[in-house]
Structure 1
Amino acid sequence: MTTRAMMTRAMTGPRLVIVPLLATIGLAGCERKHAPPHMPPPQVGIVTMHTQSVSIDTDLPGRTDAYEQAEVRPQVSGVIVERTFEQGADLKAGQLLYKINPAPYQAAYDQAKGQLANAIAAEVRARGQLERYKPLAAAHAVSRQDYDNALAAEDEARAQIVAQKGALDAAAVNLGYTNVRTPIAGRIGRALLTPGALVTANQTTQIAVVTRLDPIYVDVNLPAVDMLRFRAELAKGQIQRTASGDPEVALRLEDGTPYPHQGRLELSEVIVDEATGTLVMRAVFPNPDHLLLPGLFVHARVTEGSDPNTILVPQVAVQRDPKGDAVVMVVNADNTVQQRTIEIGRAINADWVATSGLNTGDRVIVSGLQKVMPGQKVQPVAADASKAG
């Protein structure tokens, strides 16, 4: 063998060995590229459903209204000569507010009193003449016509006394109206008139407003459907009642502060508002500190008892499907996600009352909902329902 042939053979041998090695490395690289690693199931937070005893309360918006309110208006015309109250003061019933110039009404009273005295004197004369004519008429010493005239004169004199007594009473009433008094006990507002102002009888503008603040009304708007439920619960004795037997009501002020006194439902309207489908229910509350003023916005709470078999589902777990139905994602026993339609009732804090669709032991997903879909395997982890949001 020549030296050239030996060199050619030496170079060809290693090439035959390198090619299979490169092919093996290329296939291994392709396998790593097309076979992704196996991903574990996504982790989701779940809350296990269970029944619990829940106090059922209904919050209703409402406004306070005065128990009694008097818009004081003058009953006679005249000029105000004195104001006798302090603005914002608490008054007793019958307390004097204003004095209207009494001079013309005092004169009218004195005149009516004099006319009554004249009528009484005329009646005395007529009665004396009648008594004189009576025996004379029996003896036919006077004509029957004269006796009848005397009798009619005496009757007319008595009638005149009655009329003059009425006029005197009317004058006394008008004279009394010159002292403008509050008809109720309560707190008076700002002074609307000052001395020197002219007022007229039965004017439309009030000259003072007196409001009784203790107790006070709270008018709440109740949906008609809730009213039917209330009546059923009242018949069953579920709603808490006061000592007088009326349903008990608690109150929360607009800033969230609880009102320290309990009230009671007193009545409800007999007509449902067609526009809103609600009716007005009126509760009465003690107000000894005058904390509540008419016109305040408040929240009334009626306690309807407790339900020992209530299932609460966190609100963050509830979604809506295209039909608008409430749905939740439930983890089955094999850790598969299932979408379930439920029915929800009222909201209690951060939960919904599940009226149907959920049972004790169901595991509802409250966190990681964006990572799952029905039929998918998941890794459930117990979550704190209060922090699920």
Structure 2
Amino acid sequence: MHTSPSRVLAAALLLTLSACGGGGDKQESSKGGATKGGRGGPAQVGYVVARTTAVPLPTELAARTAAFETSEVRPQVTGLVRSRLFAEGALVRAGQTLYQIDPRLYQASANQARANVAAAAATAEAARVRADRYRPLAEMEAVSKQDYTDAIATQRQAAAQVAQNQAALETARVNLAFTRVPAPITGRIGRSLSTVGALVINNQTEPMAVIQRLDPMFVDIQQSAAELLRLRRSLAQGQVMPATAQVRLKLEDGSDYGYTGTVQFTEVTVDQATGTVTLRARFPNPDGLLLPGMFVRAQFNQAIEPNAVLVPQQAVSRDAKGAATIFVVGDGNKAVQRQVVATRTQGAYWVVTRGINAGEKIITQGLGKLKPGQDIRPVPAGSVQRARPPSGDAQKGDSAKKSS
């Protein structure tokens, strides 16, 4: 069968137009915009239903570690240091002797006080016996009553002298005991600031050594007074609820500390230099990883927002002024643009605190070319059907139909 050149040219032209049309459909279907339900029909979009939930309000603040207990070892008597009885940097126990101060002078004072007590006791005994002898004589008027009164007074004075000397003896014993300088607390002791042979003075300003208890540890968290004021105001107005005071730490090298701590208290004074308030947390430190003076980052939930809505991040956009907006399914299946308050994220969601109500349908799919007031066909998210290019057989059938 003979085919004219004009028919061949026409068929080729139809095939070219058909191929161009198929490519256009494929390109249009690959876009992420709203999918047409049919030629000229409403755009098909996917939505999720807004539900309120309690969302914690996380906070990360600068902090610094501090020893749980710190004690400066100071002498309570004056004398020469005869020996140091601990290893620097070692763990010492409360009551353990750290230094020995020359005790000879204090031993002599104790011996003298003991002898004074014995002498006063002998004088008191003689005065007592004399008063006892004067009693029957005074009753028989063999001696004057004044003599008996004087004997009683002498007895009492002697007894008081005994008590005074006993107090002096006790003081001497205490001073003698102070020549052995003990550890006030259990903890890690630093370097010795007093050497053997050094003269130490009672209540001197410089300590002989410093002991720190490092398990547990305190972490002092610094928060601005303005932030704390906003938080307390939100709590008072019922906008947020208090959260459990569990704290996690991020160390200076960026690693996470393996133990969690708890907030113990918040100071009631604002630092005039920094304008911050100190929150003190307590952490276990069994491995000794935390050392006093380390800079760390404290992460914890200061409050809980009870009525927040978690919105997928792809559903939230920003306008020219930076305000957050979303599209919701309005009356009559129309797209309604809504301005919301979304100041932070949680995972793959924006935390929306205002502008959306529970039960509303938030559009999350088909947002590419969506406009406010546009007719839409909403379906649950995940079930949006994308337009697909026709199969190869269908393309051939359409081409054959056009050529005929």
Length-normalised TM-score, structure 2: 0.66
Displacement of 1:86 in angstroms is 0.5
What SS does structure 1 have at the residue aligned with 2:282? strand
Cα separation, partners in 2 of 1:319 and 1:111, compared to 1, 3 Å? farther
Tell me the distance in 2 between the aligned counterparts of 1:251 and 1:231: 28
After the TM superposition, which residues 190-339 of structure 1 pair with which residues of structure 2 at under 5 Å, given as runs? Answer: 190-222=191-223, 223-229=228-234, 236=241, 239-240=243-244, 247-273=245-271, 278-303=276-301, 304=303, 309-311=309-311, 313=313, 321=321, 326-328=322-324
Which has the higher mean CA deviation after the structures are superposed, 350-359 or 62-71?
A: 350-359
Tell me the distance in 1 between the aligned counterparts of 2:327 and 2:160: 99
**Aligned counterpart, 1:381:** none
Tell me the distance in 1 between the aligned counterparts of 2:249 and 2:354: 31
**Residue type at the aligned position of 1:263:** G
Displacement of 1:57 in angstroms is 2.3
After the TM superposition, which residues 41-190 of structure 1 pair with which residues of structure 2 at under 5 Å, given as runs? Answer: 55-190=56-191
Tell me the distance in 1 between the aligned counterparts of 2:257 and 2:292: 15
Tell me the distance in 1 between the aligned counterparts of 2:113 and 2:119: 10
Structure 2: runs of 5 or more not aligned: 1-27, 35-45, 330-335, 373-404
Length-normalised TM-score, structure 1: 0.69
Tell me the distance in 1 between the aligned counterparts of 2:320 and 2:151: 100
Identity percentage of aligned residues: 40
**Residue type at the aligned position of 1:123:** A
Tell me the distance in 1 between the aligned counterparts of 2:99 and 2:284: 30
Cα separation, partners in 2 of 1:309 and 1:258, compared to 1, 3 Å? same
Displacement of 1:327 in angstroms is 2.6
Cα separation, partners in 2 of 1:232 and 1:254, compared to 1, 3 Å? farther
**Retained in 1: the 8 A contact 2:325–2:340?**
no
**Retained in 1: the 8 A contact 2:324–2:341?**
no
Structure 1: runs of 5 or more not aligned: 1-39, 241-246, 368-373, 376-389
Displacement of 1:258 in angstroms is 1.8
Displacement of 1:302 in angstroms is 2.1
**Aligned counterpart, 2:343:** 345
Cα separation, partners in 2 of 1:328 and 1:263, compared to 1, 3 Å? closer
Tell me the distance in 2 between the aligned counterparts of 1:134 and 1:164: 28
**Aligned counterpart, 2:9:** none
Displacement of 1:270 in angstroms is 2.4
What SS does structure 1 have at the residue aligned with 2:143? coil
**Residue type at the aligned position of 2:147:** D
Q: CA RMSD in A?
A: 4.0
Displacement of 1:312 in angstroms is 6.1
**Retained in 2: the 8 A contact 1:116–1:168?**
yes
Displacement of 1:187 in angstroms is 0.6
**Retained in 1: the 8 A contact 2:328–2:338?**
no
Which has the higher mean CA deviation after the structures are superposed, 49-58 or 261-270?
A: 49-58
